[in-house]
Structure 1
Amino acid sequence: MRNPLSTKIVDIKPSGIRKFFDIVNEMDDAISLGVGEPDFDTPWHIREEGIFSLESGKTFYTSNTGLKELRKEISHYLLRRIGVKYDPNHQVIVTVGGSEAIDIALRSMLDPGDEVLIPQPSYVSYEPCTVLADGVPVIINLKEENEFRLTKEELLEHITDKTKILILPFPNNPTGAIMEEDDLRAIAEVCVEKDIFVLSDEIYSELTYKGEHTSIARMPGMAERTIVINGFSKSYAMTGWRLGYAAGPTQIIEQMLKIHQFAIMCAPTTSQYAAIEALRNGDKDVADMRESYDQRRRFLMHSFKKMGLDCFEPFGAFYVFPSIKRFGLTSEEFATRLLMEEKVAVVPGTAFGDCGEGFLRISYAYSLADLKKALSKIEAFVERLDRENK
């Protein structure tokens, strides 16, 4: 019998995040700090708008690009938040989560052999989506001493004649790193000079704890070469609604729409009506959740310092990325032992790239009560490892 499977698909590794999540689901009394999902319910007024759309019988397909009313609100939001003006009729597309936007952007822009620069540690989908689009992933290993920011020098070192796209994943999952305006300006100058396009994943843009988020799209010469990816999952606690969007140059969005038309048709109608309400009246919800995350972030940093666990201070998203190099264990070994011995689940840094070795991703998108309980167990485990290593 002929092999029914695609070699390209078979060779892609499963997500390292899901592995530990699946183990936790089989354990009693385990505390998971591994999944990047807000513990908040979607704010009631947003849910109410979704419910009202159902009660009103608004259950039909929308335009392939999404409800015009929603695209207008997205354009207004991007103008006031990142200072870039997008035409809602031709430069915005509503997708099934930010993940679909990443996928169809890469498929729209890449020819076989085109190289995509991917700073790591970073979100697990970038590399496989590049491979699925017949592109060639080129990994840029970010460094803790640079606070896991991408530097101009690192970028220049990896550019070749085949480089077409730079993925810019900030605020970053898993490190919590951010790029400030001066950092982005230096990267933008290189992109313009070398004629490189940017896929800027800004899904955590509202969760920034040091100044305001800045988008590379607002830098000189960058709006015409940048696809901005965003969505509602993280900032509005709408993960299950599966709604995201992309904004960028008309010629790219038009080609993304082709794939979206044939593969998806349109994003969920109910979710789109809820998202309109989120953008119009959700600023206070976002601010309240951000304040709570920041409190948890500071609690984790204080706890790590107390137990002697090295961790650079992250100023974005809802993750910390502590170093466990001093214990002589791999990230996988540390995470596995922590889960089996203390029933606390975290994600090995290697799930986000080989340069994540020696680190863990810990999410603080959990209640303070759960974090306190988990941190006491982590402290006990760290003390035990220290005794073993004496």
Structure 2
Amino acid sequence: MIEVKQKPKMQLSEKVCEIPEALSVYMNNIVYKMRRRGDDIRVLSLGEAYFDIPMFSFENIDFVKGYHYSESRGMPELRETICAYYHDKYKSNIDSSNEILISAGSKPLIYMAFQAVLNEGDEVLIHEPAWLSYPEEIKLANGKPVFIPYYKKVDEFEEYFTDNTKMVVICNPNNPAGRNYSREELIHLYSICRPRGIYILVDEAYSEFVLSNEFVSMANVVPDKDGVIIVNSLSKNFGISGWRIGYVISNEKVIYNILKLNQHLITCPTTLISLYLVRYFDDLIKITTPQIKEVVIKRNEVVKYIESLAIKCLDGNSTFYIFMNIGDYKYSSLELGLYLLMKYKISVVPGQAYGKSTERFIRISVGTESIELIKNSIDIIKKVIESNEYDEKFVNEELEKLQIKIFES
């Protein structure tokens, strides 16, 4: 042990100290801890769907090559495969050499996109309900998040524009509401943003989780990608969330700026996973497509059940999420979420995670549990809400047993 006579307080980044944990991840980390001690949890909080996916053979893959670095833009063969898929499915032409970059998940790519185009103090408009990491990533990129309430329509977005507005962020299809932005809405949004020099970032991570041809990619609406950034996720759409791999599509200048960040932060996506996806891309599509259809149908069946109980949800018919209103419940969505988890072993994500106007909601995911368990859990949630059931002392004692601090927003 080294003896040090003077020990001044060590500095931590003020910027990082001021951002909260990701609330959905916080809730799921509690779930993991409770499961490790033997609790049987009904998981309605996970941001993924569980698919039945076989382990394809690695015999036809260059395993030795997988030990090493690969291209920072992503393996050319995988870029070409994704671009061909976007062309076939979404009628979008993407230059695999200059307009796409693959990295370790869509989450860091969204952050890199913010870093690539924002300067200090730039405002970024976020349409609620919004994925919880957008505002924190914007802050880390020295931008200022500005929220547009969930009840505002696209043709009302201009009310929030200022001289400092440099980007609008939407999630299409939306996490957590499951709504799709129409072609007309996307065209209108571009028509009011591009003349003002405002980027549009579209998170298309749930593009596969749509039953009809309702989904329209921004890459189809703006073929030259001028002023638009599109982010998507192979991890999410293929049901392989643990294999962190996503991609970003934009014009050559934006992709080059993101490339520099990727080189310094990530280097390249995981080479072995890239090789695996090149080899089995079509097989994964064939296996997951019918399962995606099943989970979206299940989602819409659960919505009908919730509405039959006179409980409201935000409009939507895609993804595997439901954004359910908690009505006149006396306590916060966070208090409800923690109480449901500690008392009834049901995990949901509190609505406060998704914006300033969404406190009176909870997000329910139907991707991991049977429809019978989900419906039974909804019945319990309804009972808790209507009876204003809550016990702060009990919740705090349970969190203490798990050695988990109360969430700080």
Shift of the 225–259 alpha-carbon distance from structure 1 to 2, 3 Å rule, reads same
Residue equivalent to 1:122: 130
The one-letter code matched in structure 1 to 2:346 is V
1:74 CA drift (Å): 1.6
Aligned equivalent of 2:19: 12
Tell me how far 1:104 sits from its aligned partner: 0.9
Q: Which amino acid aligns with 1:373?
A: L
Q: Alignment partner of 2:146: what SS?
A: strand
Supply the distance in 1 between the matched residues of 2:184 and 2:325 (Cα, whole angstroms). 27
Kindly indicate whether residue 139 of structure 2 is the aligned counterpart of residue 131 of structure 1.
yes
**Is residue 216–residue 222 contact of structure 1 (8 Å, CA) maintained in 2?**
no
- 2:154 partner amino acid: T
The reply to whether residue 100 of structure 1 matches residue 108 of structure 2 is: yes
Asked whether the 8 Å contact 1:210–1:315 carries over to 2, the reply is no
Check conservation: 2:105, 2:245, Cα contact below 8 A.
yes
1:135-174 to 2 correspondences below 5 Å: 135-143=143-151, 150-153=153-156, 155-174=157-176
Alignment deviations for residues 67-86 of structure 1 (CA, whole Å, 9 cap, x no partner): 11111112112222222222
Instruction: Please state whether the residue corresponding to 2:56 is helix, strand or coil.
Output: helix
1:80 aligned onto 2:88 = yes
- State the partner residue of 1:181: 183
Q: Is the 8 A contact 1:309 1:322 kept in 2?
A: yes
1:36 paired to 2:43: no
- TM-superposition CA deviations, 1:155-174 (whole Å, max 9, x none): 10111111111112111111
CA distances 1:237-280 after superposition (whole Å, capped 9, x unpaired): 11111101111110111111111111111110111112224543
Aligned to 2:20, the other structure's residue is in SS state coil
More helix as a share of residues: 1
* Alignment-derived partner of residue 202 in structure 1: 204
Q: CA deviation at 1:210?
A: 4.1
CA contact (8 A) 1:37 1:234 kept: yes
Deviations 1:18-75 (A, max 9, x none): 222222233311211101122114x33xx42656425465322111111111111121
The match for 1:382 is: 382
Label 1:278 to 1:378 Cα distance change in 2 as closer, same or farther (>3 A). same
The 1:199/1:332 distance shift into structure 2, 3 A limit, reads: same
Tell which deviates more after alignment, 326-335 or 115-124. Answer: 326-335
Distance across 1 between alignment mates of 2:244 and 2:308:
39
Question: Is contact 1:75-1:87 (8 Å) kept?
Answer: yes
Post-superposition shift, 1:307? 2.5
Q: 1:69 to 1:377 in 2, by over 3 A?
A: closer
- 1:73 touches 1:280 (CA, 8 Å); kept in 2? no
Aligned residue in 1 for 2:79: 71
Question: Matches of 2:184 and 2:224 in 1, distance apart?
Answer: 15
Aligned residues, how many?
378
**Correspondence for 2:332 among 330, 333, 349:** 330
Q: Of 25, 29, 36, which residue of structure 2 is paired with 1:22?
A: 29
Per-residue CA deviation, residues 76-113 of structure 1 (Å, 9 max, x unaligned), is: 12222222222111111111001121011111111111
Query: Which secondary structure does the structure 2 equivalent of 1:227 belong to?
Result: strand
Report which stretch shifted further, 201-210 or 81-90: 81-90
Verify the 8 A CA contact 2:211 2:318 in the aligned structure 1: yes
Letter in 1 for 2:44: L
The unaligned stretches of length 5 or more in structure 1 are none
| CA–CA distance in structure 1, aligned partners of residues 141 and 92 of structure 2 | 28
Find the counterpart in structure 2 of residue 263 from structure 1.
265
Q: Displacement, 1:381? A: 4.3
Conserved 8 A contact 2:314-2:324: yes
1:118·1:168 contact (CA, 8 Å) conserved in 2?
A: yes
Of 212, 215, 219, 2:214 maps to 212
Shift of 1:236: 0.7
